[in-house]
Structures are given as structure tokens and as C-alpha cells.
Amino acid sequence: MDMLIDQFIHFLAVEKGLAANTLESYQRDMVAYTTYLRNHGVNEIHDSSRTHIIGYLLSLQEKGRATATLSRNMASIRAFYQFLVRDKHLDKDPSIHLETPKIEKRLPKVLSIEEVERLLEGPALHNPAGIRDKAMLELLYATGIRVSELVSLSIGDVNLEMGFVKCLGKGSKERIIPLGSMANQIVRQYIEAGRPKLLKQSHETALFLNHLGKQITRQGFWKIIKRYAEQVNIRTEITPHTLRHSFATHLLENGADLRSVQEMLGHADISTTQIYTHVTRTRIKDVYAKTHPRA
């Protein structure tokens, strides 16, 4: 089964062009599933059945796993069996007609414009790390790119003269996003005055560097954004995606059309972007309830 998982991951990487993080997720899901099968006496994948799939999902449910986790595991298992049938390792797909657990769509938490401004004013600009931190926060809010995309940027991905940033999103899809004047200004300051002082090796191409002169990690940025949120007393729970959510919500609140926001966020399906319209409607209702004299 381990060999089949390796072949499956290779297929997803080469033929589907999935990102490294997505491949790791599939790998984890399939290792966990096949471990369950072995623990229940199934050592060959052709001996697995619909009953085993259901039993595995129930075991995750009993462990308190979220519906989203169950849904993702079901999707991984279904894709695995489809691959096995496609490559003639199996005659039948036992996952056919199994229903995927329904996920409750949670509205993303967003910051108010005032909170965003406080957060962006958090970093001090008297040292290279502070300039870097402000550049990262400004760039994230200005473009709405994912944190993984932010930390993966190379210095050649930012065109300050033309005012855009180029990033590689899910499925290795490239997109070009406009860069606002304030973000442009601080990124320029970082490249000219901050990055050279963090740089240790001249061949390093990563845009945002840590104190070792290496590409900053997602975990490193997580610590940065949490630190500044605490520093400026923002009580809203912040995740690395919070500025992305805030970017999309604030654009829609100020009249941006859904298709443009979808393109900037890099969503393959517009239904993913539409959740932000629910956020804006909820916020409008709150404003109405608090401000209208006859609400």
C-alpha cells in the first residue's frame, strides 16, 4: 500500500500539478487511512471495502475531528481509489456513492479598517526587521495573497515601477496583482534599506529574509503577526489568513466586483469568493442595527 501511495502522490504532482502543501496533505491522509486498514487486518488495498471507509470516517468522528477534516479525508480517499481504478490496480471503486460530510461554512473573521491600520502601524522602522515586518503586513493587506505565497516571493516577483506583484498560487497557477502606493513605498524601502542588511549570501533570491538571511517561514510570519496584534491591543483572534480575509471584505464593502476579487485571491471557483459577500451583508446588518433610530 505504501508503494501505491507513492505512485498516487507522484501522479498528483506530475499530472495534476498540485502544490507541495496539498501533496503533503494527501500523503498524510492516505498514510492515516492505510494505517487504519492494517490495524483492522487489511494488508492489501484490494481487500478494502466501503465498510472500511465508513469505519475510518466514524473513527475520526469519535476522536472529535471537525466536519471539514472528515470531508477532506473523504475527498483524499475518493481520489486515491479513482487513481487505483484508473491505473488498473483495482476493478471497482468502493468509495462510489458514499456521501461527503456536509461542511458548515463559517464566516471568516476579519479586522475592521481601523484595526488593520493599527496593525500596519505596529512595526518600528528603525531597524531592518521592523522595515521587513511592515513591508510584509502592507503587502499582504494590499494584495490579499496567501501567506504561503507571501513567504515564497522572490525579489524578481515584485515590479515596483509598474506597481504589481506576481505570485504562484495553488496548482502552480500564476497571477498578477496590483500593488497599492503605500505598499509599494514600504516594499521599496525594505529592498533598498532593510533587505541588504539581512542578506548573508548574495545568491539568495527570497524577498523576505529572516535574521539568518534565509527565506522567512510561514511559522516565522505567524509569530510576527501575533506579536504586533498583541502590541497594538487587537482582541480579534488573528490567523495568518486574517489580512487576506480583511482585504477581500474591505474591497467588496467599497464596491469592488466579485469577479475581480476572485481573480486577485486566486480562487478557482467564484462560490469560494462569495462567502465574503455574506460577511459584508452581516456587517451591514450590524451597522444598521446599531445606527438606525428605528432599527
The class of domain 2-86 in CATH terms is: mainly alpha
Query: What is the per-residue DSSP string for 73-102?
Result: HHHHHHHHHHHHHHTTS-SS-TTTTPPPPP
Which of 26, 56, 141, 276 is an active site residue? 276
Give ranges for CATH 1.10.150 in the chain.
Answer: 2-86
Question: Known catalytic residue: 203?
Answer: no
Q: How many residues does the chain have?
A: 295
Which of 175, 218, 241, 283 is an active site residue? 241
Q: Hey, what's the cell of 122?
A: 505596529
Q: Hey, what's the cell of 277?
A: 459577500
DSSP letter for 207, please: S
The class of domain 113-291 in CATH terms is: mainly alpha
Give ranges for CATH 1.10.443.10 in the chain.
Answer: 113-291
Question: Known catalytic residue: 170?
Answer: yes
Which of 132, 244, 245, 250 is an active site residue? 244
- Residue 115 three-state SS: helix
Which of 72, 146, 195, 245 is an active site residue? 146
**Are 64 and 16 within 8 A, CB to CB?**
no
Which of 65, 89, 118, 170 is an active site residue? 170
| pLDDT one digit per residue (tens) for the chain, 295 residues | 889 999 999 999 988 888 888 899 999 999 999 999 999 999 898 899 889 999 898 888 888 887 778 888 999 999 999 999 998 898 889 888 777 665 555 666 788 888 989 999 999 999 999 999 999 999 988 888 888 899 999 999 999 999 999 988 776 778 888 888 899 999 999 999 999 999 999 899 999 999 999 999 989 998 999 999 999 998 877 877 888 888 888 887 777 777 777 777 777 666 666 666 665 565 556 655 666 565 5
Query: What global pTM score does this model have?
Result: 0.59
**Are 8 and 34 within 8 A, CB to CB?**
no
